[in-house]
Amino acid sequence: MKQEKATVVEHHNFQGDYRILRLAAPAVGPLVKPGQFLELRVPRLDDRILRRPFSIYKADAEGASILYKTVGRGTEAMVSLQVGDEVDIIGPLGNGFPELTKGKVPVLVAGGYGNAALYLKAKESPVKGIAFFGGRTAQDILCIEEFQVLGWDVRPATDDGSLGTKGLVTASFDPWMAEQENVQSLELFVCGPNPMLKAMGDRAIEHGFTAWLSMDKNMACGVGACLTCVIKRKTTDGWEWARCCKDGPVFESREILWEE
């Protein structure tokens, strides 16, 4: 984990409301493992004091990039970032995804910016499997070609049917899962909105496969100090708080005690 004054080297529209920001960050870049994130201080956002967390989409020795969606004050202010601007980042944060268990069949499940969080995982995975991507419309399904180029079989699903199966990601995942002879050999890596995480977690528990869920909780510090981003993690005699930023963001489905 490092704090670094990174420099914008690329910034452009990706698709729909999504943009790609590439940062020269020689301190942070080389440390990144798949599924980690960074905390970015949005420049000129002086009346908002918190950093914004973003999954690391790509990383190498020179730096890292993120794929972000404009949803509020912070991300909207990020749109004005220009090549050459300085951006203060802290990263890489969190533990990221574990390595694929030997002999298991990797399955990626993602929604929205979750795709970005899985790209590095897809890349380093020794075995390429199937990727189920969900989104509202075709505009929300990101980087399909990139995953295909890496050798993944990508199965999109959109709420409005504008790309792939019509419906939630489960609409394409469930029929596929039903066809699997050895469901328990699946190992899922999931990143997306909470209902998607929950749906995949439920299936993992019901059908006895492993599902690594990257949890999306609002954060303040990003380093484990403030106890903002906690979720309930099961213990032998009940539950304890686990911090998504420090102890996560990735948890195995059986660890999580879902609330409400």
Partner 1 sequence: MSVALEIKIGSMEMKNPVTVASGTFGYGPEYADLVDLNRLGAITVKGIGPEEHVGNATPRTFETRGGMLNAIGLPGPGAKGFIEKYVPFLAPYDVPVIVNIWGKGMEDYGKVVEMLDAEDTVSAYEINLSCPNVKEGGSAFGTDTDSFSRVIELVRGKTQKPIIPKLAPNVSDIGAFAKAAEDGGADAISIMNSYPAMAINIETLEPELANRTGGLSGPAIKPIAIKLVWDVAKATKLPIIGMGGIYEPEDAIEFMVAGASAVAVGTANFTDPSTAIRVIDGIESYLVEKGHSSVANIVGTVKA
Ligand X SMILES: Cc1cc2nc3c(=O)[nH]c(=O)nc-3n(C[C@H](O)[C@H](O)[C@H](O)COP(=O)(O)OP(=O)(O)OC[C@H]3O[C@@H](n4cnc5c(N)ncnc54)[C@H](O)[C@@H]3O)c2cc1C
Of residues 11 and 243, the one with the C-beta less far from a second copy: 11
Q: Which of residues 76-95 bind partner 1 (CB under 8 A)?
A: 88, 90
Q: Which of 220, 233, 234, 252 binds partner 1 (CB under 8 A)?
A: 220
Of residues 79 and 205, the one with the C-beta less far from ligand X: 79
Give the residue carrying structure tokens 């942070």. 28
Does 82 bind a second copy (CB under 8 A)? Our answer is no
Of residues 16 and 167, the one with the C-beta less far from ligand X: 16
Of residues 31 and 105, the one with the C-beta less far from ligand X: 31
Does 97 bind ligand X (CB under 6 A)? Our answer is no
Q: Which does 44 bind (CB under 5 to 8 A by kind): partner 1, a second copy, ligand X, none?
A: a second copy
Does 240 bind ligand FES (CB under 6 A)? Our answer is no
In this structure, the dihedral spanned by the alpha carbons of residues 147, 149, 153 and 159, taken in order and rounded to 10 degrees, is 50
Residue 183 per-residue DSSP state: G
CA distance to 25, 60, 69, 201, per residue, from 187 (Å): 32, 26, 28, 11
- Contact predicate 248/237, CB 8 Å: no
Q: Measure the CA–CA gap between 138 and 160, rounded to whole angstroms.
A: 8
DSSP reduced 3-state for 126 = coil
163 Cβ neighbours under 8 A, 6+ residues apart:
135, 137, 138, 141, 156
Residue 119 per-residue DSSP state: H
Q: Helices marked H in 140-220 — which ranges?
A: 144-149, 169-179, 194-207
Q: Which of 29, 34, 35, 53 binds ligand X (CB under 6 A)?
A: 53
Q: Which of 1, 9, 45, 226 binds a second copy (CB under 8 A)?
A: 45
Q: Which of 43, 167, 193, 224 binds partner 1 (CB under 8 A)?
A: 224
Q: How many C-beta atoms lie closer than 10 Å to residue 82's C-beta?
A: 7
Q: Which of residues 210-229 bind ligand X (CB under 6 A)?
A: 216-219
Q: Which does 116 bind (CB under 5 to 8 A by kind): ligand X, ligand FES, a second copy, none?
A: ligand X
CA-wise closest residue to 114 among 31, 189, 38: 189
Which residues of this protein are in contact with a second copy, per CB under 8 A?
44-48
Which residues of this protein are in contact with partner 1, per CB under 8 A?
1-3, 41, 46-51, 88, 90, 217-218, 220-231, 241, 246, 259
